Structure 1
Amino acid sequence: MTTIGIRELARSSAILEGHDYAQIEDKKTKQTKGLIVSNEYAEVVKKYIDKLVAKKHQQEVDEIMQFAGSCEIHSRFLNLTDREIREKIAQEKYGE
């Protein structure tokens, strides 16, 4: 894998020619900043990343959906706002 510094890339993008992909690294901190892919493979990489993101979102939705419908609302609270529900509970509890 070709590693290119951020400053080198800023000076000249011609350094990328002849490479399918290159890892961008901050030479000072040795921290990887990203990956540049040639235009030839860009669409393949984009599809792969889109698939990963969709899978992650689906997992999050599945986690939420396992709780959906697990609570039942008593019939006396149907079609009431949250404020009306609190008032009704207070009336029943304190007899006002």
Structure 2
Amino acid sequence: MPALAQDNEEDGDYKALMQKTTNNANGICIDYLNSEHGDYSGDKMIESRPPDEITKGLSKAIRDECQKHPKERVDKAVSNVKTAYAHELAQIVKSMKIQEDPIHINGGS
């Protein structure tokens, strides 16, 4: 089993993740994994902010997908992540709808 993305390897900046993913969209995953995370922006305030947790999660998911299939295209890896997230969110929504059943809301009375 391949080693998956390390916590310190994810992009914490959404703009940098978007740029990196877009720039490598037509490339293969191995190139994406080897690419730099982006240059210093020159803005010390932005650089010193804590990483955006959503961006870190997406970055880790894309890296993990690329590490599983290093010869597939990056856009396919991103699409696979989108599908996986959509499935997980659909499960949550389905669970929420079950909770909205009138029997559960009124305690059966």
TM-score, normalising length from structure 1?
0.35
Between the two structures, name the one with larger relative contact order (CA 8 Å, sep ≥ 6).
2
**TM-score scaled to structure 2, two decimals?**
0.32
Q: Which has the larger radius of gyration?
A: 1
Pick the structure with more helix per residue: 2
